[in-house]
Amino acid sequence: MKASNVNHPDRLYANAGYDADWVHPFCRETWNVESVIKPAVHRSDGVLNGDYRSQMTDKYLKKHGSQWLVESFKSGLKRITGNALNPRSEQSLLIEDALRVLVHTFRR
């Protein structure tokens, strides 16, 4: 993962789409980052498999309560500015992304 070479957050928040068997051990053991990912229940009895998934439920519900704010912001940003970035260099991508957020903020 490229992000693990660049960023070193204390905690990784993600939705159930990132609840894969390799993500939790990678975050916690390799990257030394706490993973807070909504568990995707794959069993009919509702039991969560894995060493880390059973630790996610309470923490996820308490700390992920405002996820709808983030999703709402991202949705509005994409509606106003489009969902693709055009530049090729990393610096230009960051500049364009920052300008899109600024435009979205002014339009609200």
Q: Where are the domains of the chain?
A: 3-63, 67-107
How buried is 37 (Cβ within 10 angstroms: 0-12 exposed, 13-18 middle, 19+ buried)?
buried
Per-residue pLDDT of the chain (108 residues; tens, 9 = 90+): 565 566 677 887 777 778 888 888 888 888 888 888 777 766 677 666 777 776 665 555 565 556 667 778 778 878 888 888 788 888 888 888 888 888 877 876
Q: Is the dihedral of CA 16, 18, 19, 20 positive or negative?
A: positive
Alpha-carbon span 31 to 98, nearest angstrom: 27
pLDDT of residue 18: 81
Looking at the DSSP bridge assignments, the partners of residue 37 are 14
